[in-house]
Structure formats: C-alpha cells, structure tokens
Amino acid sequence: MSVDSVHRQDAPAVLSDLQSLLDTQRLAYAAHPCPPLEQRQQWLKSLRRLLSDEREVLIDTISQDFSHRSPDETLFAELMPSLHSIDYTLKHLKRWMKPSPRSVGVMFQPASASVIYQPLGVVGIIVPWNYPLYLAIGPLIGALAAGNRVMLKLSEFTPATGHWLKELLGRIFPEDMVAVVLGEADVAVAFSGLAFDHLLFTGSTHVGKQVMRAAAEHLTPVTLELGGKSPAIVSVDVPLKDAAQRIAWGKTLNAGQTCIAPDYVLVPQDRVDGFVQAYRQAVHSFYPTLIDNPDYTAIINERQLARLERLQTDATLKGARLVPLYDQGQGRRMPHALLLDVNDEMQVMQDEIFGPLLPIVAYSDLQQALDYINARPRPLALYYFGYNKAEQQRVIQNTHSGGVCINETLLHVAIDDLPFGGVGHSGMGHYHGHEGFLTFSKAKGVLAKQRLNGSLMIYPPYGRQLVRLIQKLFIR
C-alpha cells in the first residue's frame, strides 16, 4: 500500500505504514552509515538538475494549489533560493565534513583530539503550505549534505505540489533514501510521533507545541521553525518612502503568507499619516489593480481567507480603523489593508496574521517601541528602518528575535551564510548553510591514544609521591 494513501486508513494503519517506511530507511542507512563526499555531492547535483529542468512544472503546480500564485514570486522566493543553497553547499561541503582538530592539555598527553561530523540517520521534515517547495528543499539540502536519509511530510493544503514533488523526487532518489509522505492531519500527527533521529517542523507555534510533545515520547531532537508577530520599526527620521516601500514588499510577497512577513509596524505618532500615504503609494506601485493581476498571489484556501476576514472584522468591531487599499479583491485575492488604532484585545494583535492585513502601532520614542516588542513573545524576525547606526545597534542589542534586517525585510532568509531559526515562541534550532549541516550531524568528540599511556601517572594507589606532585601542579 502506498504511503500517499494512508490518509484514507484508520490511525493504526497510518502508523504501521509510516513505521514500515522508517524501518526501510533505517536499514538502508545501517548499510551505508557514512556516505563519502562524492556521494553527497552527487545527490545535491541531481537535485539541482531536477529543480532547474522542472521549474515550469513546479511553478504551474504551486499556482494550481493557490488558485493563483505569481510565477515570479515562485521563481524568486522558492526556486532561486533552493538553487543557490545547493550551490553554496556544494562549494563548502568538503570543508564542513573535515574533522575539526581540538587541543589536548599537557595533563592528558600524549593524545590527540578531534570532532567528527557524523550523519544522524533518518531525518523527518514536516513542510508547511505557504512555500511548499523551498521549505521542503531547504532542509532536505542540509539533511542530505550531512549524509542522512529523509522522510518529507508535505502539507495537505498543497496536494498538487505534494503529488508532483513526490513523483519528481522519486525519479532521482529511491524511497529508502528520500521519501515523500502525503495525507491529511492524521498522517501528520502519526509522522511527528515516529522515532526519527531528528525532526524539523515549520509551521505555527500552536502546532509546534504538539509536534514537540509527540517527539518527546522518543526523545527525538527537534528543530522548530515557527512564526509569531514580527515587528517593523520606522525611525523618527528615515525617509518614509524608503521604509514604506521595503515594508510593503515584505508584506505583500505571497500576499503576506510568509512566516517572516512584517506583522505590525511601529511608527512615530507624528508620522503615522505620512506612513499610511507612503505605504499606499508603494503598494499601488507594485499592484495597480488586483483584478486579473498575474503578480498578486491569492490566499491559499477558503479556510484561510475566512480566518483573515474574521481577524479584520474582530479588529473593526473593537475599535480599529480600517484603511483599505483597494475597493475590491478577486476570488481569493484578498485586498491589502491597514489597521490603525489597534489594541491588545484584538485578535489581530494576538495571533500571527499570515495575510494582507497590517496593523500600525504609534509610539512616542524608541524606548517605548522597544518596550512594546520586549513585552511580547520573541518574534522570528525584526526589522528596523533608520540610517542612524547607533540606533541600529541599540535595536539589535536590546531586543531578541530569530533574525534582524536593518533597512530591509525578508532577505536575511536568503543569505546562505546566515543561520535561520527562531527563539522562544518563534522556534528553536537553526538550519541553512553550515548551521544546517551541523543541525543534521552529530558532532562526535574523539580522543585518541596509542601505545604510550601517560595516564599511568594518576592510576591508584594515590598515595605515591608522583601523584601528589601532579595534584600540586594541576589542581590549584
């Protein structure tokens, strides 16, 4: 029975099929526990060729799942970073795999010490719906570079992409090497409860807690890439056009369905009206209209659209002032809107928005803005807009977040040499680049001695004069 049909079975059958697939990968790993550099490079090169050759099919399939997804957004936000990540990994993998020599104190000589980076075994990856390609391929690259076998659980909300990615990856990897699992929420629950050697989950904080509970049953280490309410701070003197344009790009990409999208903007009280005007102009310059606009992405499904509409209604009923930027949308192409005069009683200021609504919070001075951020759960990203370098450092040093951009949004996730990961409610652990290789590897310390045994000097009986001399010299 195929794994992609398990969602039609009862829970024991689901778990049985997944466990069988895990056992198959474990046996394959046991037969080849430390793939050489050349093998790992070949895996990555095959993956790169596949993505490049099938780019048009992938673009069309993702758009099908969204009802409409901008082809250029898929190119820039999914395919390009996936290809660049493979290139970066291929360039540096040989160095990453080398044992790292470590020092040995005089007391323990003669000996040598090193750290070797060993594959963990079988890695599970749970992929969300908002970037179904990049958030599958990104962690897959790190897991393969580290020499692991991989099971990928694709989101039930992107069924076309899931089925097509399963078919494509099956062309270059046997199922005991890389397996794609499809199915509904019950499959995801069973998947997260498997005894993986590492489990990476990307998704909401609420579901992340459930995943961590399930993984704890087997003491499976987890990397949680969650979300949260990522703030943007507009300084008192930054040109509003600069800040508004960059924030608007980060918020409107994928119609705001991005885990590191600006979730609310802190603006000086006397600049709110100016920012609203600049922001409106920036958004309209990107998308003059939503009707039949191929550049504007739709909300993934009716469920998410209804959730966003409830957030908007709840906010206005509780006193928020809605500033719509368009008269109407089209289908699931939800019109972008600003929310002014928001407060903490509104659901939109409690939950991650994940869509084209942007609250504006007025502040009087920078310290008040920092206090506002620090009084809330730590976000996945933080954005500051201002050209005063002292204030830039003040923001960086006095806030906690998974990552920071100064005078930019989103793009830190595309820098392969930067780790990506959250903190607190926005997640734990890192991947991308070298950090991804380390996440999916066991850094094993190795101490080696040969014939000469210097430790004889501290063996019992302890009353000997040499032992006392050693104690006097090394214990102070």
- Identify whether 118 is part of a domain: yes
Answer for the pair 184, 168: CB distance below 8 angstroms, yes or no: no
Task: Give residue 80's domain range.
Answer: 3-226+428-443
Buried b (16+ CB within 10 A) or exposed e, 152-172: bbbbbbbbebbebbbebbeee
User: Both 146 and 285 in a single domain?
Assistant: no
Q: Pick the catalytic residue from 73, 175, 225, 352.
A: 225
**Residue-averaged pLDDT of the chain:** 94
pLDDT over 60 at 5, yes or no? no
What's the number of domains the chain is made of?
2
User: Both 332 and 200 in a single domain?
Assistant: no
- Identify whether 64 is part of a domain: yes
**Among the listed residues 147, 163, 182, the one whose alpha carbon sits nearest the alpha carbon of residue 61:** 163
User: Both 222 and 277 in a single domain?
Assistant: no
Output the pTM of the full model.
0.93
Q: How far is CA 54 from CA 57, 82, 153, 187, 234, in A?
A: 5, 13, 21, 28, 41
User: Both 165 and 287 in a single domain?
Assistant: no
Q: What is the mean pLDDT of residues 442-455?
A: 92
- Identify whether 386 is part of a domain: yes
Write down the pLDDT at residue 10.
61
| CATH code: domain of residue 94 | 3.40.605.10
User: Both 193 and 237 in a single domain?
Assistant: no
How open is the CA angle 254-255-258, to the nearest 5 degrees? 55
User: Both 140 and 252 in a single domain?
Assistant: no
- Identify whether 384 is part of a domain: yes
- Identify whether 448 is part of a domain: no
Percent over 90 (pLDDT), the chain: 87
User: Both 149 and 251 in a single domain?
Assistant: no
pLDDT category at 11 given cuts 50, 70, 90 is: low
Tell me which of 137-151, 279-293, 325-339, 446-460 is least confident: 446-460
Catalytic: 259? yes
What single letter denotes the amino acid at residue 178? V
- Report pLDDT digits (tens) over 38-53: 999 999 999 999 999 9
Q: Pick the catalytic residue from 259, 391, 405, 435.
A: 259
Burial of 341 (0-12, 13-18, 19+ CB in 10 A): middle
DSSP 2: -
- Identify whether 464 is part of a domain: no
pLDDT category at 1 given cuts 50, 70, 90 is: very low
Q: What is the mean pLDDT of residues 156-178?
A: 97
Catalytic: 405? no
Q: What is the mean pLDDT of residues 52-73?
A: 96
- Identify whether 458 is part of a domain: no
396 token code pair: 């960086």
Q: How far apart (Å, rounded) are the C-alpha atoms in residues 406 and 307?
A: 31
- Identify whether 455 is part of a domain: no
Sign of CA dihedral 309, 277, 239, 373: negative
Give 327 or 21, the one with higher predicted confidence. 21
Write down the pLDDT at residue 473.
81
User: Both 188 and 41 in a single domain?
Assistant: yes
| CATH code: domain of residue 309 | 3.40.309.10
- Report pLDDT digits (tens) over 147-159: 999 999 999 999 9
Q: How far apart (Å, rounded) are the C-alpha atoms in residues 216 and 77?
A: 33
Answer for the pair 320, 264: CB distance below 8 angstroms, yes or no: no
User: Both 280 and 135 in a single domain?
Assistant: no
- Report pLDDT digits (tens) over 337-386: 999 999 999 999 999 999 999 999 999 999 999 999 999 999 999 999 99
User: Both 136 and 174 in a single domain?
Assistant: yes
258 token code pair: 């991005």
Write down the pLDDT at residue 476.
77
Q: How far apart (Å, rounded) are the C-alpha atoms in residues 146 and 423?
A: 24
User: Both 264 and 394 in a single domain?
Assistant: yes
Burial of 365 (0-12, 13-18, 19+ CB in 10 A): exposed
User: Both 135 and 51 in a single domain?
Assistant: yes
- Report pLDDT digits (tens) over 424-436: 999 999 999 999 9
